[in-house]
Structure 1
Amino acid sequence: MTNILQKYIAEKAIPLVIYLINEHKVNLKIVHQRQTKHGDFRTLPDGRTQITVNNNLNKHQFLLTLVHEIAHHVTHKKFGRVQPHGKEWKTIFQHLMLPFLQPEIYPPKILPYLANYLKNPKASTDADVNLSLALREGMAESGKSFIFEIPNECIFQYKNTLYKRGVKRRTRYECLNLSNNRVYLFNQNVEVLYIEQ
C-alpha cells in the first residue's frame, strides 16, 4: 500500500492515511479521471463499501479528496443514512483532516485556505475558489484556462459547448451559451478551452 500511496500523496501523510484505511477498513480504488467528480463513496450490492479517487489529481487534491471520502465512509458506519454533507459528515471530516494540517504535508501557501475551508466544508473543494486555485497552484490543466483568465466578450468551450464570457457578478461570471442564447453562471476557477479569435 505504501508504494502505491507514494505516487499520490505527500510522504509524511502516508502513515496517517494507512492508519485511516486500516482502522476504518476502507476499500480504496484509484480510477481514471472523471469529469464531474474527484472521488466518491458508495455501498456495493453485497453490503461492502468502496471509495474511489481520480488518478489525475495532484498530491494535495488527492489527499483532501481521499479524506473527504473516508469521512463519508465513517459517517455511514456511525450514523447510517444522513445528509451526505450534513453536520455529521462535516464534524467527522474536520476531525479526520486535522492531523494533516501541517507544513510537511500541505505547503504554507495552501494551509490558510485549507484551514478556512474546514471551518464549514462544502460538498466540493471546487466551491471554495481560493482553496481550489491554491490546490492547483494557480495552474489550469494543460491547454486550458480558468474562466477569470478569459477576456470579456471572448469565446470559450466547456463540455463541447461554446460560450461567450460576460461580466463578473459577486463571485461568478455570466456566460452566454451560444447554442441556446441562455446565460449561465460559472465559478471563476472552472477550466475551459479558450478559443482564439
Structure 2
Amino acid sequence: MPQTSLTTPFHNYVPKAAESYCVELWQQYGFRLKLANHRQSKWGDYRYRKLASGQEQYQISVNRTLPAEAFLLTYLHEVAHLIAFQKHGFRIRPHGAEWKSCFRKLLQPVLTQPMVSEEVLLPLQHYACNPKATVHADAHLLQALLREKSLDSNVTLASVAEREEFVFQGRKFLKEKVRRTRALCREVASGKRYTIALSAYVEEANSTIAAS
C-alpha cells in the first residue's frame, strides 16, 4: 500500500495501520469525504446525487468524534454502500446481500493484516461472517469499539438492558423495546414514549422499574 502523508483526512481518525488503506479507497472511488460533528442518530452515511449537468456526486460522512476503530468500521460500512450502488444500482436493499458481500470484502484486509486491536479483532471476525445494518446489533463488538471512549457519559443506550432506567439529556427514561437501530423508551416523569438511537450516550440510573 502507498505511504500516507500527515495531511491525509484520515490522520488521527483511524488506526495508523489502516490509514493507507483508507486513503487508497478514497482515491480509487473518488467520493467526497465529510468529517461530521457528533450525531446522536448515526455514526456515518452515504449519499448520492446526480446534477443537472449529468455529473454524479458521491459523499461519505463519518462522525469525527468516534474512536479510531469505530471510525474505520463506519467508513468501510459506507464505502460498501457506494460500491454496491455502483455495481447494482438502486434495485437492491440497503443492507442486503450485495452490500454484505461488498462489506465483507472491504473487511478482509482489516482482519488479515490486522489493522485493529486484538480486543476488536475477535468480535469483528464473528461480525464479518454476516454483517448487520449496524454494529449496535452486536453487543460484544460495540463494547470493544467504545471501550476507550473518554466522554463524561461513555455508556450507549445499546448497552442498557430492557426494563432498565437511564438518564438522557438530564431526563430519566425506561428502556422498553429495541427496534433495529433505535429503542422505544418511556420518560419516567411524564409517561410519554420516545424513540432514541441506540448509539446515543446516556448515563446509568442504577435502578430498574417493574413491568407495567
User: TM class by shorter-chain length?
Assistant: 0.7 to 0.9
1:62 to 65, 71, 87: 71
Q: Residue in 2 aligned with 1:8?
A: 13
CA-atom RMSD in angstroms = 3.4
Per-residue Cα deviation, 1:115-171 (whole angstroms, up to 9, x for no partner): 1111111111111111000111275732354569879987532356422468xxxxx
Give distance in 2, aligned partners of 1:8 and 1:21.
14
2:70 partner letter:
Q
Q: Is 1:80 aligned to residue 89 of structure 2?
A: yes
Give distance in 2, aligned partners of 1:28 and 1:150.
32
| 1:42/1:109 CA distance change after superposition, 3 Å | same
* TM-superposed deviation, 1:17: 1.3
Q: Residue in 1 aligned with 2:179?
A: none
* TM-superposed deviation, 1:23: 1.4
Give distance in 2, aligned partners of 1:69 and 1:146.
21
**Correspondences of 1:108-119 after superposition (within 5 Å):** 108-119=118-129
Q: Residue in 1 aligned with 2:45?
A: 40
Give distance in 2, aligned partners of 1:160 and 1:78.
46
Q: Is 1:180 aligned to residue 180 of structure 2?
A: no
Q: Is 1:26 aligned to residue 31 of structure 2?
A: yes
The TM-score with structure 1 as length reference comes to: 0.80
Count, aligned residues = 190
Give distance in 1, aligned partners of 2:175 and 2:21.
43
Give distance in 2, aligned partners of 1:22 and 1:152.
43
Long gaps (5+) in structure 1: 167-172
Long gaps (5+) in structure 2: 177-182, 208-212
Segment drifting more, 93-102 vs 150-159 = 150-159
Contact 2:173 2:186 in 1 (8 A): yes
